[in-house]
Homo-oligomer: A and B are copies of this chain.
Amino acid sequence: MADRQHALDLDATDPLAGVRARFRIPDGLIYLDGNSLGALPVGVPAAVGRTVEQEWGTDLIGSWNANGWWDAPRRVGDRVGALVGAAPGQVVVCDSTTVNLYKLLVAARRLRPERPAVLIDADDFPTDRYIVESVAGASVARSLGPEVGVVVRSHVNYQSGRLHDLAGLTAAAHDAGVLVLWDLSHSVGVVPVDLDGAGADFAVSCTYKYLNGGPGAPAFAYVAHRHQEALRQPLAGWLGHAQPFAMAPGYEPAAGIGRVLAGTPPIVSLAALEAALDAYDGVSLADVRAKSVALTSLFIELVADRFGDAFSLASPAAALDRGAHVCLSHPDAYPIVQALIARGVVGDFRQPDLLRFGFAPLYSRYVDVWDTVDRLAAVMASGEWDTAAYRRRAAVT
C-alpha cells in the first residue's frame, strides 16, 4: 500500500461500493463505530414516519392486523434469520439482547436439569457474564466439565474481535452432551453465519450494530426447530401464549418460536429495523466478509507501517480469526481516541487501554482506512492528544 491512490483504486473495484449510497453518512465523517451503532439507512425516516403518522395516527388500533404489527416479530425475525442461516420460524425480534439471553438461558438449563453449570469466558461481554451469574449462581464454570449443561459464548468477542468457530464449538459441545447459546451481536451482518448448518441450539443478538436497526432496536432470539416444543422460558407473557386473546386461566406457550415472546414489542423501533434490513437486499455475505477481511487487514498493515510498535495489536493477527473490528492498545488510548474524533474519525475507547475501530463493509471504504491512519499519524505527530481537553472527560460510552 504505497499511497492513498491505491486505496481509492480498491474502492473503485469494490463490488459493494454502491451499497454505501443506501446510507446517510455525514459529509466528511469517517465513522468507524458501526459496531456500536450502525449508520442510518436512507429508507428508515420515511418508514418510521409512515408507521407513526399513517399506521398509529390514522389506522390506530386496527394496525395490529391491517398493518402487520401483530406478525412483525416473526416477519422481521425471518428476515434476520435469512442473514444467519436460519430457516423461517426459528427467529423472533423482540426485547433486548439481555432479556432474550435470560429467557433462552433459563430455558436451556431446564433442558439439562442434571447439569446445572453454565460455561462462559471471563472476557465475554458484561451482560452475558452478569446474566449467566444471575441465572446460574455459584454454578458458573470456566472450563468444560461433566457438570456443565450449557455454554454461552459470543461469536465475535466485543473487545479483541476474536472470531470463534461456531460450527466446530457447537459440534464439540454436542459430543459432550452440552447445549450452546451463541451471542451474535458482533458477527451478524458481517460474518457469514449458518446456524442451521451448524446444528446450533440457541442464539441471541442485538440488531443495532452491523444490521443498522437504530439505537436500542429490538434484539432477536433463535431457537432451533428441534428445541421449540420443549422450550419453557420464564418470561411467560401474554404475547407468547397460544391464544393471547382467550385470556385463559393458565399459560399455554404458543406453538413454535412465538413462545419466546413476552410483552408488546416497541413497534416504532421495530419498523426502523425492518426498513433498515433493506440495506442488505441482494448483498452477498461472502462479499461482505471478503471486504471486511480486506479492510481490517489493510488497517493493521498501515498501522504497523506507520507506527511500528507504538500501538500493539489487541486483535488476532490472522485475518480469519477476526470479526470486523480491530483493537489497538496504547497507554494513552483514551485521549488519543478523543483527539481522533476531533479530526473527524469516530472510533471508540474501551477499558483499560484500547482504541476500537469497527469497519462496516456496507459503507466503510478503503480510503477511509487510509485516511484514518493518516489522521492518527497527525494526532500522534502533533502531540495534540496530550492536552487537558482530551484527557479530562471520563469515558461514559
Partner-B contacts on A (CB < 8 A): 24, 26, 29, 31, 33, 36-37, 39-40, 44-45, 48-49, 52-53, 55-58, 60-65, 69-70, 95-99, 102, 122, 125-127, 129-131, 133-135, 159, 206, 208, 214-219, 234-239, 241, 244-251, 262-270, 272, 346, 348, 350-351, 395-397
Known contacts A65-B396, A215-B267, A397-B245, A237 near B351 by CB under 8 Å:
no
Contact residue among B37, B245, B265 (Cβ-Cβ distance under 8 Å from A56): B37
Q: For A37, give its contact among B36, B61, B131, B350 (CB under 8 Å).
A: B61
Please measure, in the bound complex, the distance between the C-alpha atom of A322 and the C-alpha atom of B366, giving whole angstroms. 65
Evaluate contact between A241 and B102: CB separation under 8 angstroms: no
- What separation, in Å, do the CA atoms of A247 and B154 have in the docked complex? 15
**Cα distance A249–B346 in the bound complex, in angstroms:** 27
Of B33, B62, B238, B346, which is within 8 A of A127 by CB?
B238
A272 and B53 alpha carbons, distance in the complex (Å): 12
In contact, B216 and A251 (Cβ under 8 angstroms): no
**B268 A235 Cβ-Cβ under 8 A:** no
Given contacts A64-B215, A266-B266, could you give 4 more A-B pairs where the C-beta distance is less than 8 Å?
A40-B57, A61-B348, A96-B264, A247-B350
| Distance (whole angstroms) from the CB of A315 to the closest CB of chain B | 16
Set of chain B residues within 8 Å of A49, measured between Cβ atoms: 45, 48-49
Q: How far is the CA of A120 from the CA of B53 in the complex (A)?
A: 38
By the criterion CB–CB under 8 Å, are A126 and B244 in contact? yes
Chain B positions within 8 Å of A48 at CB level: 48-49, 52, 268
Contact A214 B56 (CB under 8 A): yes
Q: Are B214 and A395 in contact (CB under 8 A)?
A: no
B96 A236 Cβ-Cβ under 8 A: no
Instruction: Report the separation of the CA atoms of residues A234 and B26 in the bound assembly, to the nearest whole angstrom.
Output: 40
- Measured CB to CB, the nearest residue on chain B to A32 is B61
Q: A56 near B40 (CB under 8 angstroms)?
A: yes
Nearest B residue to A233 via CB reads: B134
Known contacts A215-B264, A218-B266, A236 near B131 by CB under 8 Å: yes
**Bound-state Cα–Cα, A15 to B127, Å:** 49
Q: In whole angstroms, how far apart are the Cα atoms of A125 and B99 in the complex?
A: 22
User: Chain B residues near A263 (CB, 8 Å)?
Assistant: 95-99, 127, 219
Q: Select one of B40, B217, B264 contacting A53, CB under 8 A.
A: B40
A141 to chain B, nearest CB (A): 15
With A134-B251, A245-B395, A397-B70 known to touch, is A102 a contact of B60 (CB < 8 Å)?
no
Chain B hits for A206, CB < 8 A: 264
Question: How distant is A255 from chain B, measured CB to nearest CB, in Å?
Answer: 15
Judging by beta carbons under 8 Å apart, are A216 and B37 in contact? Answer: no
Measured between beta carbons, the chain B residues less than 8 angstroms from A36 are 61
Quick check: B61 and A134 within 8 Å, CB to CB? Answer: no
Contact (Cβ within 8 A) B268 A131: no
Shortest Cβ gap from A8 to chain B (Å) = 24
Residues of B within 8 A of A40 (CB): 52-53, 56-57
A241 with B130: CB separation less than 8 A: yes
Closest 8 CB pairs of A and B: A96-B263, A98-B263, A98-B237, A266-B269, A40-B57, A215-B267, A266-B266, A130-B251
Q: A95-B95, A215-B264, A264-B208 are in contact. Are A249 and B52 (CB under 8 A)?
A: no
From B64, B97, B250, A397 is in contact (CB under 8 Å) with: B64
* 9 pairs, A vs B, C-beta closer than 8 Å: A70-B396, A95-B96, A130-B241, A133-B236, A159-B247, A214-B268, A215-B268, A216-B264, A216-B265
Task: Tell me the bound Cα distance from A97 to B263 in angstroms.
Answer: 7
